[in-house]
Amino acid sequence: MNYHDFHQQSIRDPQGFWAKEAELIDWQRPFDKVLDYSNPPFTKWFVGGTTNLCHNAVDRWVESQGDKPALIAISTETNTEKVYTFRELQQEVMRAAAIMQALGVRKGDRVILYMPMIAEAAFAMLACARIGAIHSVVFGGFASHSLATRIDDAKPKLIISADAGSRGGKSVPYKPLLDEAIQLAAHKPEHVLLVDRGLVPMEMAPGRDLRYDALREERMHAEVPVTWLESNECSYVLYTSGTTGKPKGVQRDVGGYAVALASSMKTIFCGKPGDTYFSTSDIGWVVGHSYIVYGPLIAGMATIMYEGLPIRPDAGIWWSIVEKYRVTGMFSAPTAVRVLKKQPPELMKKHDLSSLKALYLAGEPLDETTSSWIANELNVPIIDNYWQTETGWPILTVARGVENTPTRLGSPGLPMYGYDVKLLNESTGEECGANEKGVLVIEGPLPPGCMQTVYGDDKRFINTYWSNFANRQVYSTFDWGIRDGDGYYFILGRTDDVINVAGHRLGTREIEESLSSHPNVSEVAVVGVEDKLKGQVAVAFAVLKNAEAASTPEGRKTLEAEMMAVVDKQLGAVARPSRVHFVTLLPKTRSGKLLRRSIQALCEGRDPGDLTTIEDPASLQQVREALAG
Ligand code: ATP
Ligand code: MG
């Protein structure tokens, strides 16, 4: 079918369209109504239907392919590798569910998971789903303060954690951070369940802390039936990355999410039972929820859970995994590809990658250089996809399962079915025409899979997302976009990454794109910095391909002038950064997003703010030194 018609159909007749997609999953009780949008912007999908995420991800497949691989847990940190079949996965999930039930966890109770990328984390997520408990996975890299805020927001009955994670071969203790977080938080969980990986000793709080292994031993033959949930009951809460401020608790449903994932696995990620999927994300992020744990399993595929760096023991590790497990689809982030790009290419070339059909990338803008490089190395389609924690699955990409839509460099693609995407003029709220820049919004109702509300705060949901244009209520993504004459969208950055130079509004991302076209620039961050005269000026921090060129003051001066000239030529002198600083590392979140707000704060002599998500604090030191020097 022609993709344009497919999309149109989904917008014109959402009920008919999604009723058909809903056949991709099992329902215990059929739904009475496909869509209830009587109380906008709150959307209810598949009203009255009962189903279960764990049933669809695990039990459903046990009969037809119980002995096929379901979960492949690989750690290059502990050098372990284990394959769980669907049957084994079901058994492990039932054991975990039985433990939770014994600890008093019931339907609707929250369970926080603060865990490394180990199989038990997936068991725990699925076990929660099985018994109707609401999981909230908190990224294992967060420190105690971030964890405490989430504990107080989610108010978990139980927290599941481990002795430690591991990064680059070094143990990263979790337990002391968890203890500190519980101390800091006003809410106290009844129990803490701990997976002991034998990495670091743990101090156990008597009565509160329990060992997963011991409780599992007692429940080897546990049978825990699935708790059927009404489609609109809550499955999980996941906090956004916090790139732009206080994280929001994204609340997700059951039925709509299951349908959206089953559908996207088929039409976007082109997966089917027997395929193997390798998403390099972390379960702490939305990609980990949708496309490590739930999506592939709901589609009957095997999924790989990987703990480790992309370059350890060497930069060939991911490709050796692709070869060994005959991976068919891979999902990663541009930031990881950039890391690989700096490594010797032979490591990729020596593996048999013939099973791989496509590489999907998301999370941040995919620049053309990175995209072309990896496309050339892998010789498979590189599919950019744009979405948010809030939406749970792609807003913009190409649905190759519907039609072999060509991709366009620099563009994530077209609006996905179910999403009525528009670009609105920020001040007038009018719709933009082709090649006019606007705020990317989605007309309600949001399709299945998207957030239901902000956990515990309906008002914040409405105020944050739906109240940005005076004359119309639409969902704002807070991203700038532009659409070309053929309907392809381009993301131009976040609405709060806009700077105002002498009355001209400029997207920092556009300036970054322009600077990146200088042949020696590998990565660059641009921020707006307060200026007495102009209001704001752009300041750039660049990572060079050949750092040698910036080793002397003269070298830096020449480079800076060259880079400014590039911007002058491409965007005009008004966009020219007032300074270009050279660093070897940019401040990023653990999920690979540039922390522009922290860079900006340092430039303006302020405190860099909440840094719990930062990948490497040394990057901020470099910014400080560059500013001082
Ligand atoms: P917070 O909302 O708490 O500030 P966050 O927006 O970084 O955090 P996520 O939901 O993980 O949290 O990220 C979604 C955002 O990432 C999008 O709104 C967009 O800005 C960016 N993004 C995601 N995918 C792409 C992509 N393919 N191209 C460009 N930008 C992308
Ligand atoms: Mg966001």
Distance 472 CA to ligand 2 centre (A): 21
pTM score, two decimals?
0.90
- Give pLDDT, residue 265: 98
Q: Ligand 1, residues 240, 287, 441: which to mutate, most atoms within 8 A of Cβ?
A: 240
Torsion sign, CA atoms 376, 378, 381, 382: negative
Is 90 exceeded by the pLDDT of residue 245? no
Assess whether pLDDT exceeds 90 at residue 300: yes
- Residue 241 C-alpha to ligand 2 middle, in angstroms? 7
Write down all domains in the chain, each with its CATH number in brackets.
Answer: 3-308+385-465 (3.40.50.12780), 502-628 (3.30.300.30)
Query: Atom 3 in ligand 1: which residue has the minimum CA distance?
Result: 242
Instruction: Please identify, by atom number, the ligand 1 atom nearest to the C-alpha of residue 248.
Output: 3
Asked if pLDDT for residue 99 goes beyond 80, the answer is: yes
Query: Does 491 contact ligand 1 (Cβ within 6 A)?
Result: yes
Please write the tens of the pLDDT for every residue from 109-149. 999 999 999 999 999 999 999 999 999 999 988 888 889 99
Q: What does the alpha-carbon distance between residue 427 and residue 449 come to, in Å, rounded to a whole number?
A: 30
- Count CB neighbours of 383 within 10 A: 25
How many Å apart are CA 51 and CA 163, to the nearest integer? Answer: 34
DSSP H helical segments within 45-118, as ranges? 53-54, 60-65, 86-102
> How do residues 348-377 score in pLDDT, each as one tens digit?
888 999 999 999 999 988 988 899 999 999
Please say if the pLDDT value at position 502 is more than 80. Answer: no
ipTM over 0.85: yes
**CA neighbor of 97 nearest in space, from 58, 43, 140, 141:** 58
pLDDT digits (tens, 9 = 90+) for 174-200: 999 999 999 999 999 999 999 999 999
Q: How much is the average pLDDT of 65-73?
A: 98
- Please report the pLDDT score of residue 244 as a whole number: 64
Q: How confident is the model at residue 533 (pLDDT cuts 50, 70, 90)?
A: confident
Q: Cα(103) to centroid of ligand 1, in Å?
A: 36
Chain centroid, CA 469 distance in Å: 27
Mean pLDDT, rounded, of the chain: 94
With a pLDDT cut of 90, the percent of the chain lying above it is: 83
Residue 353 Cα, ligand 2 centroid: separation in angstroms?
34
Q: What is the 3-state secondary structure (H, E, C) of 473-531?
A: CCEEEEEEEEECCCCCEEEEEEHHHEEEECCEEEEHHHHHHHHHCCCCEEEEEEEEEEE
**Cα(98) to centroid of ligand 2, in Å?**
36
User: Nearest bound ligand to CA 387?
Assistant: 1
Residue 283: predicted pLDDT: 96
User: Is the pLDDT at 235 greater than 90, yes or no?
Assistant: yes
Q: Which atom of ligand 1 is nearest to the CA of 589?
A: 7
Task: DSSP for 10-62, please give it.
Answer: HHH-HHHHHHHHGGGS--SB--SEEEEEEETTEEEEEET-EE-HHIIIIIHHH
Whether 447 is in the pocket of ligand 1, judged by its Cβ within 6 Å, is no
Report the largest interatomic distance among the alpha carbons of the chain, rounded to a whole angstrom. 73
**pLDDT tier, 597 (very low <50, low <70, confident <90, very high otherwise):** confident
Reported as a single tens digit per residue, the pLDDT across 385-437 is: 999 999 999 999 999 999 999 999 999 999 999 999 999 998 889 999 999 99
Quick one: DSSP state of residue 141?
A: T
Average confidence (pLDDT) over 484-496: 92
